[in-house]
Amino acid sequence: MLLRTEIANVRAIAPVEGLVTIGDAKQEAFHRAMQSQLGQRMQAEVMSLLDDGSFLVKIAGSAVQMSLPQGTRTGEMLQMTLMSLAPKATFLLETGGDNAETTLSPAAKMIANLLQLAQKPGAETTAASSVLNKSPIMQNPAASTQQIATALRETLHGSGIFYESHIAAWADGERSLTQLKQEPQARLAEQAARILAGDADAPQKIAANNVELARLVSQQLDTLEQQRVAWRGEAWPGQPMEWDVEEHPGQDAQDSAQAVPTTWQSTVRFDMPSLGKVAATVYLQGDQLRIHVTAASENTRAELQAQRRRLSESLEAAGSPLTAFVVKQDAAS
């Protein structure tokens, strides 16, 4: 069972299966102390049951608040393995009978090793779930709307974040082998095969391959937990762009309450030569489309606001009528 931590004082966030919380004030010190324990198996003592149903657990000399399985008893000793520290500490909780000898599966050991490798000094570090793209999404800033939409879609699809689901789609005949081979994991596998076929620098190159693979695995785990992908790269040559895509699950209708559809939230941030810093967030919930834009300067805000009618007409023609459009000035954009 995977346990996530968010160091907090005494207040647990809503329990998700195996969610762990630790207190904010102590988070930095806790992470420093735990750096050397990545991938290591350690013992945790259940100290007390708290009013909200979570437990206070002592692990590696720190008091940590955790949401543990039902039936956990005060005074019980638990075996855990630290899998990751970024963006949150992640533990693998060993479960079994009271006298059962438990060991990590090969898959769990591999994940632990990869996550440990991704956080070694010298490894490329990024924000949680961040996908760093080394090639621009498009070469021409004057591309058509359809071309831009296709490029954005293929950028996320080919990022490696969804590699396993794409393997399943390929097995079902819904994705081609050519498409699959374009993703980072497949390219790394082919590169490793070429290196092993004969290269004097094979150990160093294989190590670099493993670091890249570890980074991908860490991003996949973060994306799975947070339901969010953060992309960093260039929209076109010389134009940096940040792009976040999040899913906010809806809610089925219960009794008299109406169903709430899933909300998709997509945010892009630019620092453009003529407009300066601009951020735009698109919210799509059912047939409701809302766009919120912030600009660093008043002139840019006014210019973007003046384009509202044109944007609304274009979206109407595309079959996605605009429900709301808000433009604000924000120097921090």
pLDDT in tens, 97-154: 444 444 555 555 555 655 555 555 444 444 444 677 778 999 888 888 889 889 999 9
For residues 87 and 136, which has the higher predicted lDDT (pLDDT)?
136
Q: Which amino acid is at 45?
A: E
Report field, pTM of the whole predicted structure over 0.75: no
pLDDT bracket for residue 16 (50, 70, 90):
very low
Q: How do beta strands 324-329 and 288-295 pair?
A: parallel
> What does the pLDDT read at residue 100?
41
pLDDT bracket for residue 81 (50, 70, 90):
confident
For residues 23 and 298, which has the higher predicted lDDT (pLDDT)?
298
pLDDT bracket for residue 236 (50, 70, 90):
very high
Lowest mean pLDDT among 204-208, 252-256, 259-263: 252-256
> What does the pLDDT read at residue 37?
74
Q: Judge whether residue 275 has pLDDT over 60.
A: yes
pLDDT bracket for residue 93 (50, 70, 90):
confident
Question: 36-76: per-residue pLDDT in tens?
Answer: 776 677 888 999 988 888 888 888 888 888 778 878 889 99
Q: Judge whether residue 307 has pLDDT over 90.
A: yes
Residue 78 corresponds to which tokens in the numbers above?
Answer: 């638990």
- Comparing CA positions, the residue from 33, 40, 63 lying closest to residue 50 is 63
CB of 234 closer than 8 Å to CB of 241: yes
Lowest mean pLDDT among 9-23, 127-141, 299-313: 9-23
- Comparing CA positions, the residue from 178, 300, 163 lying closest to residue 219 is 163
- Comparing CA positions, the residue from 298, 293, 297 lying closest to residue 311 is 293
Q: Judge whether residue 319 has pLDDT over 70.
A: yes
> What does the pLDDT read at residue 280?
96
To the question of domain 262-333 being in CATH 3.30.750.140, the answer is yes
Cα–Cα distance for residue pair 259/116, rounded to 1 Å: 42
For residues 294 and 28, which has the higher predicted lDDT (pLDDT)?
294
pLDDT bracket for residue 8 (50, 70, 90):
very low
> What does the pLDDT read at residue 109?
58
Place of tokens 């970024």: 86
The helix or strand, by DSSP H or E, that contains position 283, with its residue range, turns out to be: strand 276-285
**For the chain, where do the domains classified as CATH 3.30.750.140 start and end?**
262-333
Q: Judge whether residue 242 has pLDDT over 70.
A: yes
Cα–Cα distance for residue pair 246/225, rounded to 1 Å: 11
Question: 180-223: per-residue pLDDT in tens?
Answer: 888 988 888 888 777 777 666 666 677 777 777 777 877 887 78
> What does the pLDDT read at residue 25?
42
Cα–Cα distance for residue pair 147/169, rounded to 1 Å: 24
Q: How do beta strands 130-132 and 288-295 pair?
A: unpaired
Cα–Cα distance for residue pair 318/323, rounded to 1 Å: 14
**Mean model confidence pLDDT for the chain:** 77
